[in-house]
């Protein structure tokens, strides 16, 4: 049983890139609602309901803040009411709602992305396209916890020496400056040592190979081609304005056309692709186990 997240990281990375870029570039009510539905479905599958209540509260607050758009921008021809000589228009209200739903769906996509695309997967993706960038990324991830531990260690030494007290604002600022100065000095020295160690081990002398547990097989190729074809149909509809919606000064949308219907259908299939693959694999696994 091979679920969507078990495919090659490049295929998964391209998928998230396509769904988020299309959602941002084609901000129409239809595309936004499809994107939000697919993002919520995928998040409910991969997140295992961890911290969903907290995220929903944060997203609800963001959505309510987006309703302030008609009070800040007064474009549009359909006036709902007038407040302090400022017209509150229906176009501005719906634009704020659509923009909020778009941002919420992107946040959900990135939440699923952070769960599926772990550090080793990201290193593999960057290593394929740019080994130097992958090395820089891995070193950055390594130095984040090192800097945190070193800052705590320096802070404890400062407290032990009695150089500052936390209940004194001036002493706290001076102590923070000393910690920052010592931390930067330590970081530069550690960077020089790392560079010398890499040079001593022959880094950069010749092309280096790397080990990976992921293989790019036929199923990965088929899934990648499917993503690119579906994404290409949507981008074609956007470029040719078969998928189009304007909020200002009045609502205006593209007339129904075969390309527009194909683009909307293609994007719906694209956002539901992980769910379709997981359902297919689950049914296939159940069928195979029933034959044992």
Residue range(s) defining the domain that contains residue 163? 131-200
Q: What confidence tier does 19 reach under pLDDT thresholds 50, 70, 90?
A: very high
Q: Percent of the chain at pLDDT above 90?
A: 6
Q: What are phi and psi of 191, to 5 degrees?
A: -65, -40
Residues 90 and 227 in one domain: yes
**Residues near 25 by beta carbon (within 8 Å), at least 6 away in sequence:** 238
Q: Tokens 């396509």 correspond to what residue?
A: 18
Give the pLDDT mean for 108-125: 82
Residues 83 and 179 in one domain: no
d(CA 246, CA 61) in angstroms, rounded, equals 26
Is 212 within a domain?
Answer: no
Give the pLDDT mean for 74-103: 76
Distance of alpha carbon 227 from its chain centroid, rounded?
17
Q: Is the pLDDT of residue 279 over 70?
A: yes
Residues 17 and 91 in one domain: yes
Last residue of a domain, one of 150, 169, 200: 200
- More confident position, 213 or 273: 273
Residues 184 and 57 in one domain: no
The pLDDT value recorded for residue 54 is 54
The pLDDT value recorded for residue 229 is 92
Nearest to 271 by CA among 24, 56, 42, 21: 42
The pLDDT value recorded for residue 58 is 64
Q: What is the pLDDT of residues 182-201, one digit of tens each?
A: 888 888 888 788 778 877 87
Could you tell me if 274 and 4 are in contact, meaning their C-beta atoms sit under 8 angstroms apart? Answer: yes
Q: What is the pLDDT of residues 122-153, one digit of tens each?
A: 777 877 677 677 677 777 767 777 888 888 88
Q: What is the pLDDT of residues 196-234, one digit of tens each?
A: 887 787 766 666 666 667 788 888 899 899 999 998 998
- The secondary structure of 61-120, three-state, reads HHHHHHCCHHHHCCCCCCEEEEECCEEEEHHHHHHHHHHHHHHHHHHHHHHHHHHHCCHH
Residues 235 and 196 in one domain: no
d(CA 217, CA 118) in angstroms, rounded, equals 20
Which of 80-84, 176-180, 271-275 has the largest mean confidence? 271-275
d(CA 94, CA 246) in angstroms, rounded, equals 11
Nearest to 10 by CA among 216, 211, 209: 216
- More confident position, 86 or 23: 23
d(CA 157, CA 150) in angstroms, rounded, equals 11
How many structural domains are present in the chain?
2
Q: Is the pLDDT of residue 163 over 70?
A: no
d(CA 271, CA 10) in angstroms, rounded, equals 17
Q: What is the mean pLDDT of the chain?
A: 79
d(CA 201, CA 157) in angstroms, rounded, equals 34
* Rg of the chain on CA atoms, in Å: 26
Is 215 within a domain?
Answer: no
Query: Could you tell me what percentage of the chain is helix, strand and coil, using 3-state DSSP and rounding each to the nearest 5?
Result: 75, 5, 25
The pLDDT value recorded for residue 204 is 66
Q: What is the pLDDT of residues 1-16, one digit of tens each?
A: 677 888 888 899 899 9
d(CA 213, CA 220) in angstroms, rounded, equals 14
d(CA 4, CA 222) in angstroms, rounded, equals 13
Residues 18 and 149 in one domain: no
Is 205 within a domain?
Answer: no
The pLDDT value recorded for residue 1 is 63
Q: What confidence tier does 269 reach under pLDDT thresholds 50, 70, 90?
A: very high
**Half-sphere exposure of 270 toward its Cβ, with a 13 Å CA cutoff?**
35
Q: What are phi and psi of 216, to 5 degrees?
A: -100, 95
């Amino acid at each position: 049983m091979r679920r969507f997240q078990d495919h090659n990281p490049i295929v998964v990375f391209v998928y998230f890139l396509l769904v988020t870029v299309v959602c941002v570039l084609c901000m129409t009510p239809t595309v936004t609602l499809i994107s939000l539905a697919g993002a919520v479905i995928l998040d409910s599958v991969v997140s295992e309901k961890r911290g969903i209540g907290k995220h929903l509260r944060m997203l609800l607050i963001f959505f309510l803040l987006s309703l302030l758009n008609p009070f800040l921008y007064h474009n549009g021809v359909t006036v709902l009411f007038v407040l302090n000589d400022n017209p509150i228009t229906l176009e501005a209200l719906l634009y704020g709602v659509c923009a909020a739903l778009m941002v919420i769906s992107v946040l959900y996509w990135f939440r699923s992305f952070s769960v599926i695309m772990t550090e080793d997967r990201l290193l593999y993706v960057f290593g394929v396209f740019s080994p130097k960038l992958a090395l820089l990324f891995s070193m950055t991830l390594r130095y984040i916890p090192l800097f945190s531990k070193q800052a705590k260690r320096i802070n404890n030494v400062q407290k032990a020496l009695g150089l500052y007290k936390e209940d004194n604002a001036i002493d706290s600022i001076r102590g923070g400056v000393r910690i920052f100065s010592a931390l930067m000095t330590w970081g530069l020295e550690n960077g020089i040592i790392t560079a010398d160690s890499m040079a001593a081990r022959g880094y950069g002398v010749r092309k280096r190979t790397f080990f990976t547990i992921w293989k790019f097989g036929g199923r990965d190729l088929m899934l990648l081609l499917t993503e690119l074809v579906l994404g290409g149909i949507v981008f074609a509809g956007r470029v040719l304005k078969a998928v189009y919606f304007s909020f200002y000064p009045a609502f205006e949308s593209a007339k129904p056309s075969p390309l527009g219907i194909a683009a909307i259908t293609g994007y719906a299939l694209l956002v539901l692709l992980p769910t379709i693959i997981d359902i297919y694999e689950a049914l296939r696994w159940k069928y195979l186990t029933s034959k044992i």
